[in-house]
A and B are shown apart, each in its own frame.
Chain A
Amino acid sequence: MKLNDRPYENWHEGLTIRGVMDYMHFTWPKLVVKVNGQLVWPEDYGNVVLKEDDDLKIHHLLGGG
């Protein structure tokens, strides 16, 4: 499984997007999340289960300085 084009080392059966966010300590709320190119809305972060070969992108949108 890849997260933001980097190998994701903590995949396991039943891993959800929410699980990835918790593990990575992704606390920023403004995200654009796509699994294999498909947009996932926030209400589904806890439902979408990831497969071992999924391409997950969690892009943070932060205006910054």
Chain B
Amino acid sequence: MIRMCDLPRYADADMEEIKKMKEAHVVLNQITYEPKALYRGYTDKRLKIDVSDNSVSILDIPQEVKEKFTGGKGYCLRYLWDSVNPQTRWDSPENAITMSAGPVAGITQYGGTGKCLVCTISPMTDIPIDSNVGGYFGPFLKFSGFDMIELTGKAKEDVIIVIDGNKGIISVEKAPLEHRDAHILGEELTAMYAEDENDRKNVAVVCSGSAAEHCNLSMLNFTFYDPKRNVVRLKQAGRGGIGRVFADKRIKALVCRFKGVKANLNDVYDIKILNKDGLKFHREVATLDNKQNAMRKSGTAYSLQTLSDYDILPTHNYKYGGTEKVSEMKAEVWQEKWLTQGGADGCWYGCSMACAKTADHFLLKTGPYKGCRVCVDGPEYESAAGLGPNCGITDPQVILELNFYCDTYGIDTISYGTMTAFLMECYENGILNKERTGGLELVWGNAEADLELLHLIARNEGFGKIGALGSHKQKAYFAEQGWGDMDFMNDIAMEQKGLEYSEYSSKESLAQQGGYGLTNKGPQHDEAWLIFMDQVNNQIPTFDDKAEALYYYPMFRTWFGLLGLCKLPWNDIVPADNSLRDEPAKVPEHVDNYLDLYYGVTGVKIDRDDMIRMSERVYNFQRIFNIRLGKGLRRNDAIPYRSQGPVTEEEYLSRQERYDRQLVELVGKTAEEVQAMSLQEKMAATRSYRESEYEKLIDAVYPKRGWTLNGVPTVAHLKELGMDLPELLEIVEPLQDVQP
């Protein structure tokens, strides 16, 4: 076991080099301002920076926007809408990157209260992506006086943006000598803007990595400085290619410095409530985490073995739901061999859930940093599953190396994992071969080829140029080249709306198929994670039950992104008596805590219905935003068949008993009929049934959400929500009676 107390600290940056880098900066614009203090969670100010002309504006956020959009994702989407028009593409100058933390973010007493939401028009989906990220930038932005930052335009040369929230200085500067890869750039800027060693924890950096200039899968890293390790840590706004937009705007990094983090910078309404619930939460984690998920020991990777046991762990591009070899990477292996134990690993102050684990002084075996010993953040469950068994890899050392390079290059581990799984299946099926990949033998489990692909993407060389496209565009390319059949590739490429799926096999859960397919941004599990409730517990058996869940959970979970909260403390730890409550899956005591926190910060009392209402406003706004940009109707909620059932014979045969039984129990065949059917006939009948079930699911879900059967929010529903805004009615009114 690797213990925190035995760990040597990482080396300091070379301050001479840092000095030279700083001296090479050219300030293009600098303003001073009076940082507005927070009041009950808000400053009501937003910062807008247009890098086309380096203009810096500080604008008000009006009361009506606060009332309807709350904060966080709500603010991000509102101001993104205002910045773009229906013809705007991801690389248009008017595409904006908006970031907002939310009114509760920045308190320190409760776990998971430092989150920031980031939105932009995605290069992968061409509609808004929303991404939730930890680290210190979100709270520091608030403390610096801003509920939101909006980045528009395009710079002629790479710039960084520096915000000093104590001194009240914002500058746009050229920073020519700094590196691009996040694990170095983060260190350079932290060392550069910290006044001394003790001040490093007061510097937060946002940056992508060297892949961002050409890779659609690029994300944003949000840093925080770890004083115990003396290293800069990386959290990610992972999904949707925001890093690509960032680099397209020629923004290399954002830096925000704020000194003086205290428990009440939000100037909350009643701090006693925060103290009481925070202390209660910490005590809960202290006594129960070990008996529950052991998040403090293994992070979110605790569930790998379990999900394989239940046939949910995506294996070989979601063909299968698990593998015996997952034992090589189960929670105990991470805890005992790879992840440092005993660190204070929250990604914001006061997070006792402390799930941001690291593999320290990890020796890299490939790539530009081969031979270096680095700090690897993660792996999260998603990264471990996607980079791992989904690609046929179960060696923790390989997963850590892939994870590290994805992070530093600025590439989303989920999209990279799911995309590589697709490429491997293409290779296994002859759609790709050594000639077409320039020598990369992308077969299941080939770690060497996988890592080499990642490095090629970062260098924009060879097959890396194809790798950089993402699976949605790769299908079109492969079909164009005449390499593969489009229908087959549409079945197996696990992407929807242009975004790769995250790492759960939804084949046996119709509710989760909807949980992925009926999302706004694309198949990300942060709206609804219903697999166990559906597949194992059978708690939502009817279409009505599933529809209710697919209405409630996305709305409930949207709320976290309006307030600046992390969802993990909601249900990855539960009170001791949770099983005795009604609806334990909703963890009612924790929901009460969140209502308390909202009241304690803002002074506004809300109930559970209000929570849903607040979310519904933003959720429907986002749906209409999708429609505005051409991708928000029923047809855009179609899903690849691999997410629903067995595409290939080997998949059917691997679960033949189950599928044959379902033909009898669900599809209505007799046992004799099934006996007589050929494999192809059985597969066709299974497919036809499952596809029609999904359509029936949509028919049940849309009305629950207040939408027409074509997926358009109804005027009546918008009026009920107080969202009958002219710009929204303009879009939905003509579509009210249009059939799917």
Interface residue ranges, A against B (CB under 8 Å): 4-6, 25, 27-28, 30, 32, 39, 57-65
Contact = CB atoms under 8 A, between A and B. Distances in A.
Of the listed residues B381, B532, B570, B578, the one surrounded by the most CB atoms of chain A closer than 10 A to its CB is B532
A27 B309 CA distance: 7
12 contacts: A28-B306, A39-B579, A58-B537, A60-B532, A61-B579, A63-B568, A63-B571, A64-B525, A64-B531, A65-B381, A65-B525, A65-B526
A65 B292 CA distance: 16
B538 interface: yes
Nearest to B381: A65
Contact of B574 (A6, A39, A61): A61
Interface in B286-341: 292-293, 303, 305-306, 309-310
B725 interface: no
Contacts of B303: 62, 64
Contacts of A30: 292-293, 574
B306 A5 contact: no
A64 B529 contact: yes
Contact of A25 (B309, B537, B541, B570): B309
A59 B586 CA distance: 13
A65 B524 CA distance: 9
B578 A59 contact: no
Interface string B518-542: 0000000110010110001111010
Contacts of B538: 4-6
B580 A61 contact: no
Nearest to B382: A65
A63 B572 CA distance: 5
A65 B504 contact: yes
A62 B643 CA distance: 21
B271 to A, nearest CB: 28
A65 B529 contact: yes
A61 B568 contact: no
Contact of B580 (A39, A57, A63): A39
A1 to B, nearest CB: 14
A30 B538 CA distance: 16
Contact of B532 (A5, A57, A64): A64
B714 interface: no
B247 to A, nearest CB: 28
B31 interface: no
Given A59-B585, A65-B382, A65-B502, 15 more contacts: A4-B539, A25-B309, A27-B306, A28-B306, A28-B309, A30-B574, A32-B584, A39-B579, A59-B584, A60-B536, A61-B584, A62-B303, A63-B293, A63-B572, A65-B381
B149 to A, nearest CB: 27
A60 B584 CA distance: 10
B525 A4 contact: no
Nearest to B538: A4
Contacts of B305: 27
Nearest to A3: B538
B297 to A, nearest CB: 14
